[in-house]
Structure 1
Amino acid sequence: MMMRRAYAVEQAGGPVRVHEYEPAPLGPLEVEVRVTHCGICHTDLAMIDDEWGIARFPVVAGHEAVGVVEAVGEAVDPTRVTVGRRVGVGATAGSCFACEWCLSGRQQLCPAKDNVVVRGTGGAFASHVRAGDWRHVHPIPDAIASEHAGPFLCAGTTVFPPLLHHGVRPTDRVAVVGIGGLGHLAIQFLAKWGCHVTAISTTPAKRDDARRFGAHDFVATTEAPGLERVSNSFDFVLSTVSADLPWDAYLATLRPRGTLCVVGLPSGALTISPLSLLPGERTIVGGVTGSPTETRQMLDFAARHDIRPMVEIFPAARMDEALDHVRRGRAHYRAVLEL
């Protein structure tokens, strides 16, 4: 096999260095993808900067990969994944397909899943990425350009499955907290789903963008009356931010039996009053990236309804600049590497 190239970080917060390596033999279920584009997610920075204390350096991050299949293992279904096909590899690149979670179609909960985010040395900031199981390799619809496809494979498949899991209806009034990499896609999905969508942000300047993405209403929490204006308003609230929020205040925006779904990763504990939760029979749930089936449903839905991430494209030579751009919260709204 030809040598591969990876863009590695050798110490927390350090610069990117090019590493060359010889790939291991391809396993029977594995798929080798030549990467053309890869989105940058906050969790990539969390590994590069070792925010969680679990990084093993050198780190090769990247889990929103789009490219072309270059090789397949001997047990890969030739009717589903073929050499030369344009595909995506997301945050989960394999699972056991034998546990209760896999057998019930919830492979994202498999305790043995191949998690590209934390695998460390095998991410997609590289010339190639390898999926552990072909069933986690997703054909990209022709209508979606490669530079737009990457963010769907983490951000998109994080915010879309909650609509399915929690029975969000077209008649529902919903809110999206945070207009960033995840939130700007969530607004589009929910608007095309048929919901009345309110965007909630600390940044009043994002009002016009939120409207363009499909929001019907906008709440700036830094302007009076803030959340009080939408008290007891929503059937479903999706929090996409990685910040500690006033959770009681957000629960107060829910109607009875409403659901607060947290898919961002706050740094602290979720502290709530029982009186915010119990009298209205409200629910708090978490969410991660979807199953292979849900990811493909999301891609089809996005293609059909012309939903696209807003991206800024950086060549590989400017990877350090791109990472710092995301680190400082300046991406508008998703940074994508062209590899």
Structure 2
Amino acid sequence: MSSNTIRAYAAKEPHSPLVPYEFDAGELTATQVEIDVEYCGLCHSDISILNNDWGVSSYPVVAGHEVIGKVSRLGSEAKGLKIGQRVGLGWNAESCGFCDPCIGGEQVLCTGEQKATIVDHAGGFANKVRAGWQWAIPLPDDIDIESAGPLLCGGVTVFTPLLLNNITALHHVGVIGIGGLGHIALKLLKAWGCEVTAFTSNLDKTEQLKGMGADHVINSKDPEALKALSGKFDLILSTVNVPLDWANILTTVAPKGAIHYVGVPLEPVSVPAFSLISGGKALTGSKTGSPIVLRQLLKFAARKNIKPQIELYPMSKINEAIEHLEAGKARYRVVLKADFE
């Protein structure tokens, strides 16, 4: 078997079971690293790409973009890494390095030759994966490697808004939707020192959510509960993809506060402009995070012992893991352990 051969699990068409798949990845380029995969998270975005829900997939698709593994090969121009070093790889695998956002340290907003790890690129449902060296993020020695994968996508997605909105321990932050993203947000915000309120449609989870870091839990669909929170939140972080009464939720935002979207509602967001103008409020959103933000997150998570709640499957059981996630049974992130023979 060639050193450029990668063994993987791939979808040959939308909504089909993944099957074993081998391919020749070609020669490693000067700026790439190759990573031997140890663990890879399973994210809803993987499902969207496998099923071509976004219309950008080309088959066969090898998904997986929450990779933990060890550097096995280095291109001649790869910097700051060494063979055997444990690294993480998230949503992005390549960026151009020369556009204004890249030069400014915001590679996640690259306007040049940006490449996602699982779009026209083979991801981490495999024994090996490749990426540009800047996107291979060194792991702190004391981080938990089984649960670290989801931090590279879900974790950084909810961490980036804290930096963009200058959130400190003085602030009160609300989190809407306590699933794969929201539960990590609660853990991060508690460690950040914020006052934290969880918005949920299921108050039966109150004690569980408080165990994750919520100081308060409210029903996101209860108008009276929202009315009682008028002007309370410096930031509301929305992770949901369902329509809600955004105009009413906006009333809970403090002057100069924001609702920040990392989930994508299925319908356009509608709020009265006067509410934004009169309170200097904002609707904002963000993608995942650039390499520096990923490094900061992993260091913070290691120092504060922040671990996403995961369910572990062998990668050979990947179709079972996908069925579990699609059925809405995951609590709260699924991680695959590579078990190629």
Shorter-chain TM-score tier? over 0.9
> Offset at 1:196?
0.4
CA distance in 2, matches of 1:228, 1:239: 18
Q: 1:23 offset after TM fit, Å?
A: 2.3
- Following superposition, the deviation at residue 223 of structure 1 comes to 5.2
Look up the SS of the partner of 1:36 in the other structure.
strand
Correspondence for 2:33: 31
- Are 2:96 and 1:96 aligned? yes
Q: How does 1:36-185 map to 2 (within 5 A)?
A: 36-77=38-79, 80-111=80-111, 112-119=113-120, 121-131=121-131, 133-185=132-184
Unaligned runs of 5+ in 1: none
1:266, CA displacement in angstroms? 1.8
1:203/1:222 contact within 8 Å kept = no
Match of 1:6 among 1, 5, 8: 8
Give the structure-1-normalised TM-score: 0.95
State the distance in 2 between where 1:75 and 1:53 align. Answer: 34
Deviations 1:233-288 (A, max 9, x none): 10111111222222112211101111111011222211222233221111011111
Write out per-residue CA displacement over residues 297-325 of structure 1, whole angstroms, 9 at most, x where no aligned residue: 00000111111100000111211111121
- 2:62/2:125 contact within 8 Å kept: yes
Alignment CA distance shift 1:43-1:17 (3 Å): same
Kept after mapping to 1: 8 A contact 2:36/2:129: yes
Q: Does the CA-based 8 Å contact 2:140-2:298 persist in structure 1?
A: yes
**Aligned equivalents of 1:201 and 1:189: distance in 2?**
18
Within a 5 Å distance, the mapping from 1:220-299 to structure 2 comes to 220-222=219-221, 225-299=224-298
Unaligned runs of 5+ in 2: none
**Distance in 1, Cα, partners of 2:235 & 2:118:** 28
Identical-pair percentage: 39
Task: Kindly indicate whether the alpha-carbon contact (under 8 Å) linking 1:70 and 1:84 is maintained by their aligned counterparts in 2.
Answer: yes
Contact 2:176 2:220 in 1 (8 A): no
Q: For residue 261 of structure 1, what is the amino acid of its counterpart?
A: H
Structure 1, residues 67-119: CA drift from partner, whole Å, max 9, x if none? Answer: 11110101112xx2111111111111221111110111111000222211423
Q: Distance in 2 between matches of 1:118 and 1:329?
A: 24
Question: What is the alpha-carbon distance in structure 2 between the residues aligned to residue 217 and residue 281 of structure 1?
Answer: 26
**Residue type matched to 1:218 in 2?**
V
> Structure 2 counterpart of 1:58, which letter?
P
Q: Please list, as runs of the form range in 1=range in 2, the aligned pairs for 1:186-197 lying within 5 A after superposition.
A: 186-197=185-196
Q: Quick one: distance in 2 between partners of 1:178 and 1:302? A: 21
Pair 1:17 & 2:19 matched: yes
For residues 4 and 306 of structure 1, the distance between their equivalents in structure 2, rounded to whole angstroms, comes to 33
Match of 1:205 in 2: 204
Q: Return the alpha-carbon distance in structure 1 between the equivalents of residues 118 and 189 of structure 2.
A: 26
Runs of 4 or more above 6 Å deviation: none
Q: Deviations over 1:3-52 (max 9, x none)?
A: 32111011111101111112210000100001111001111111112222
Matched to 1:14, the amino acid is S
Superposed displacement of residue 222, structure 1? 4.5
Paired with 2:21 and 2:67, the residues of 1 have a C-alpha distance of 18
- The one-letter code of the counterpart of 2:117 is V
Give the letter for the 1:161 counterpart. T
Which residue in 2 is equivalent to 1:310? 309
- The whole-number CA distance in structure 2 between the counterparts of 1:332 and 1:242 is 18
1:307 corresponds to which letter in structure 2?
A: I
Provide the rounded CA distance (Å) in 2 between the counterparts of 1:93 and 1:4.
17
Q: Deviations over 1:133-183 (max 9, x none)?
A: 211111111222221110010011111121111111211111011111111
CA distance in 1, matches of 2:171, 2:149: 29
User: Could you tell me the TM-score, scaled by structure 2's length?
Assistant: 0.95
